[in-house]
């Protein structure tokens, strides 16, 4: 069994896999060693562990993982089961790399595209030959609403809502229409542009704000909130 850890700034996610099957999952805020010990308490057959972290991981957690498991911390030098053709691999986010590995696995030999919608909207493409090429990054919903409020004199800060219309009847609903429909149109247009270049493209959508997009995407997609964890597990299995 494998222990897979994805430590972000907001949440730290922990999963236990048995091969390719996730058998346990929890997420924490401000994770500590006690949390991990409790999480793995009833899983005595864990042999290996991978950690992807954008935070300063507490040293006692790293010491524990090193002492108990065959341990990998994801870095630019970690062997991966795809070819990384990104121009500046040192600057590539670990989440983007893990997602690229995941979609390449799930696409079963087809070219694959991930759409990760959170603080930013990130597109990442992997060819049928398992070559990761890169993609694009644009502001997510909150950043768009925040920018309109911050860089204008009178526009209010509007919260996004799954219910929105094309025609705004007041300033608030006009902003809601512009941001929501604009972002949805952007995602649909990008997917179509990728489909024009790659036949039999498999499209995967993930991220905390993807719920606002899934029902508005005109292309066939596969929604999965665990792409980062799936990719990390694949990297760990590859190294085993």
200 is catalytic: no
Cβ contacts of 103 within 8 Å, gap of 6 or more: 112, 113, 114, 124, 126, 202, 204, 227, 231
Give kind and range of the element (H or E) at residue 121. strand 120-126
CA pair distance 106, 115, nearest whole angstrom: 14
Assigned token pair, 20: 């390719």
Distance CA 2, CA 162 (A): 37
Residues 6 or more apart in contact with residue 118 via CB below 8 angstroms: 140, 207, 208, 209
Q: What CA–CA distance (Å, rounded) separates 3 from 207?
A: 21
The torsion region of residue 16 among left (phi > 0), alpha (psi -120 to 50) and beta comes to beta
Q: Which of 30, 60, 95, 224 is catalytic?
A: 95
Contact 184, 213 (CB under 8 A): yes
Q: What share of the chain is helix, strand, coil (3-state, %, to 5)?
A: 35, 25, 35
Residues taking part in catalysis: 95
């Amino acid at each position: 069994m494998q222990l897979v850890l994805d430590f972000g700034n907001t949440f730290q996610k922990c999963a236990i896999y048995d091969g390719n099957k996730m058998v346990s999952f929890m997420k924490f805020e401000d994770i500590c060693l006690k949390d991990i010990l409790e999480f793995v308490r009833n899983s005595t057959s864990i042999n290996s562990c991978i950690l992807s972290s954008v935070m300063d991981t507490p040293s006692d957690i790293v010491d524990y993982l090193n002492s108990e498991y065959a341990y990998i911390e994801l870095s630019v030098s970690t062997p991966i089961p795809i070819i990384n053709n990104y121009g500046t691999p040192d600057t590539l986010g670990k989440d983007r790399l893990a997602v690229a590995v995941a979609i390449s696995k799930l696409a079963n030999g087809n070219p694959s595209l991930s759409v990760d919608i959170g603080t930013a909207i990130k597109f990442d493409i992997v060819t049928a030959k398992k070559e990761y090429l890169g993609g694009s990054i644009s502001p997510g919903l909150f950043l768009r609403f925040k920018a309109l409020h911050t860089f204008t004199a009178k526009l209010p800060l509007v919260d996004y809502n799954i219910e929105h219309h094309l025609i705004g009847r007041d300033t608030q609903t006009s902003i809601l229409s512009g941001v929501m429909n604009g972002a949805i149109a952007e995602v649909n247009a990008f997917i179509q542009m990728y489909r024009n270049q790659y036949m039999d493209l498999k499209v995967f959508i993930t991220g905390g704000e993807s719920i606002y997009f899934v029902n508005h995407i005109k292309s066939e997609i596969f929604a999965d909130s665990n792409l980062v964890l799936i990719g990390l597990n694949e990297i760990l299995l590859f190294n085993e």
